[in-house]
Chain A
């Protein structure tokens, strides 16, 4: 037990140590030393997690560090919870993070602030680990806010560009809007249960009646928090803008780990969600709508990272659809495989950008499959995986979600299949435009260094075989991940697929065939393309609307940003300068004016004074007489 405690403390301590060492010595570190140290520390974390993982047999272990906040009845300890769910998250977070740290050594090699970059990346890893390891909502919230801050810092890493700074602030503020829900949910849960520790909260919640107002409110508020962090409708516009950050950041934070925190939170609170079918419906449809939104917008993006960003939004939609139908392990499965192939896609995109000297516009790419061989092959694997081609990992995870969705609501299933077709379309459009045809730019493409390609290959292998983690029964598998998670998240126990084997095979075949057809369609459209689509202005209305991201950014600007800015300015120029201050000053001036008038009595005429005196005496006399 002591050994587990020590290991659990060391896992987040490693990246924190890295932050401190690299942060304080950031002037002395070079790209290789800082990056090397950061990578080794995160890799150590991974190894330690692995040791923990191998020694873990389904129990829930609480690691108590110290009492954090104690007031009256409220006792919030600073504790970690080591169970199947947190271990699984820790495992792939540290694993993917280690790979991306290594990749960054090559990618960020020539940046003058490379040491700062690694310090912040390590800090992010630390915060993300706190998020998943916390044994109560508030410790999770530390990580939750911490990853938000790191995300802000890393999006605005190249701080000289005002747009990047704006993107960073936008990300943080939108996350904070979600956090309002999170904080309120915690306050509600505390009032209801008198504790915020996951285990007792879930135990006590399990005794409550389904669909009671407390649970519905709590789950909705938690979901608001999740929409912020995981870029779901309506709080999604920050994620595409977040691509302003360096590409490894997009891969680690805005694809593989941080954005899945919302999913993690829902799985953690699965007991609550199981009790609130009403909320589950909302989660399902928000997820489906987001999946469609991301997939449609992805079709018309020309920035390689923006395509991937909308793809992330769309895939996160799938995960929330899974949460909505109560398929928690399927959602977590998709979180994991998505972490593999989306990280790979971003790193591949980074490799392409690196090869082209910073070019991100796919209209100026093409024909790169010969010059950047490794990148091409790994990118292809990831694209096939995300499109859901068997037997790659994406097929299993996505299919598992869609089967559960079919069982719950065929309409949701149909929409998700449609989104899957769109996914195949935009991903292969991206692949064909980038790697096929002829090169349309002016740079001299070259393959990236070994330190960048090795993580690509590792991730490609994981993306390809990741499906074995949770092979469904119909293929003779034993759904390992589900059985692993069942010990940690009670909701997992409730998810069972009651479909006949024939239906399952049929659904799989249907979606696979449709996706393959879409890929063929994409080939006819973009496969040999040398010229490109026109500007949005030339498109028909619906296409133009989608290409302009459904005008969501503009809508928010008109609805919120501008009125807020106007209000801020005018509350000052009107409320303060025209009301509050003048009233105060006016009171003083009124007193002065009264004095101005009153001093006229002091006219220097002695007789007048005497007269006043006499008048006063007579008055006093009268008062005395009358009151007597």
Chain B
């Protein structure tokens, strides 16, 4: 375990921050701009994982294992969320013959 932490600490913390912010921004932009629901779900995963990465990095730097525990929680939630998301995707595909997320706006009001 000790060497993994040492390995992580090789890279300065600032880089992790930068990378995570980049990943998060890419995910956010994708989620906002893309209309293909599959891509949107992938982008959501990307955002979640960027946060995971940051948590792990901070956990290593601060010597607090709590951050790594949280990562497992998030992965669990992400799995559940993907399951629901993919179910919606399948239903959307079956009902509308497409995967355009804007088809869902019929559910408004």
B and A form one assembly: yes
Report the separation of the CA atoms of residues A233 and B109 in the bound assembly, to the nearest whole angstrom.
Answer: 73
A-B contacts, 9 listed (Cβ < 8 Å): A603-B108, A604-B107, A605-B102, A605-B105, A607-B32, A607-B33, A607-B35, A607-B102, A611-B32
Report the separation of the CA atoms of residues A27 and B71 in the bound assembly, to the nearest whole angstrom.
Answer: 96
Interface status of A584 (Cβ within 8 A of chain B):
no
Chain B residues with CB under 8 A of A610: 31-32
Q: A residues bordering B, Cβ < 8 Å? A: 599, 602-607, 610-611, 614
Q: How many of chain B's residues touch chain A, expressed as a range?
A: 10 to 19
**A606→B102 contact, CB < 8 A:** yes
Report the separation of the CA atoms of residues A607 and B34 in the bound assembly, to the nearest whole angstrom.
Answer: 8
Report the separation of the CA atoms of residues A149 and B105 in the bound assembly, to the nearest whole angstrom.
Answer: 75
**A602→B101 contact, CB < 8 A:** no
Report the separation of the CA atoms of residues A610 and B107 in the bound assembly, to the nearest whole angstrom.
Answer: 16
Given contacts A603-B105, A604-B108, A605-B102, 14 further A-B contacts (CB under 8 A): A603-B108, A604-B104, A604-B107, A604-B109, A605-B105, A606-B101, A606-B102, A606-B104, A606-B105, A607-B31, A607-B101, A610-B32, A611-B32, A614-B28
Chain B residues with CB under 8 A of A602: 108-109
Within 8 A of A (CB), among B85-109: 101-102, 104-109
Report the separation of the CA atoms of residues A277 and B31 in the bound assembly, to the nearest whole angstrom.
Answer: 98
A617 to chain B, nearest CB (A): 10
B99 to chain A, nearest CB (A): 12
Chain A residues with CB under 8 A of B40: 606
A346 to chain B, nearest CB (A): 82
Chain B residues with CB under 8 A of A614: 28, 32
Per CB-CB distance, the 6 closest pairs between chain A and chain B, nearest first, are A604-B108, A604-B105, A606-B101, A605-B105, A607-B32, A610-B32
Q: A606-B104, A614-B28 are in contact. Are A599 and B33 (CB under 8 A)?
A: no
Report the separation of the CA atoms of residues A175 and B87 in the bound assembly, to the nearest whole angstrom.
Answer: 85
**A599→B109 contact, CB < 8 A:** yes
Closest A residue, CB atoms, query B28: A614
**Binary CB contact string for chain B from 17 to 30 against chain A (1 if under 8 A, 0 otherwise):** 00000000000100
Report the separation of the CA atoms of residues A329 and B63 in the bound assembly, to the nearest whole angstrom.
Answer: 112
Report the separation of the CA atoms of residues A310 and B32 in the bound assembly, to the nearest whole angstrom.
Answer: 97
Report the separation of the CA atoms of residues A445 and B74 in the bound assembly, to the nearest whole angstrom.
Answer: 116
Chain A residues with CB under 8 A of B101: 606-607
Chain A residues with CB under 8 A of B32: 607, 610-611, 614
Chain A residues with CB under 8 A of B31: 607, 610
Within 8 A of A (CB), among B22-64: 28, 31-33, 35, 40
Closest A residue, CB atoms, query B40: A606
Report the separation of the CA atoms of residues A607 and B32 in the bound assembly, to the nearest whole angstrom.
Answer: 5
Closest A residue, CB atoms, query B104: A606
Chain A residues with CB under 8 A of B106: 604
A431 to chain B, nearest CB (A): 93
B68 to chain A, nearest CB (A): 24
A614 to chain B, nearest CB (A): 6
Chain A residues with CB under 8 A of B107: 604
Closest A residue, CB atoms, query B108: A604
B17 to chain A, nearest CB (A): 15
Report the separation of the CA atoms of residues A602 and B105 in the bound assembly, to the nearest whole angstrom.
Answer: 9
Closest B residue, CB atoms, query A603: B108
Chain A residues with CB under 8 A of B105: 603-606
B108 to chain A, nearest CB (A): 3
Report the separation of the CA atoms of residues A606 and B85 in the bound assembly, to the nearest whole angstrom.
Answer: 13
B104 to chain A, nearest CB (A): 6
Best-surrounded residue of A599, A603, A605, A607 (most CB of chain B within 10 A): A607
Report the separation of the CA atoms of residues A607 and B101 in the bound assembly, to the nearest whole angstrom.
Answer: 8
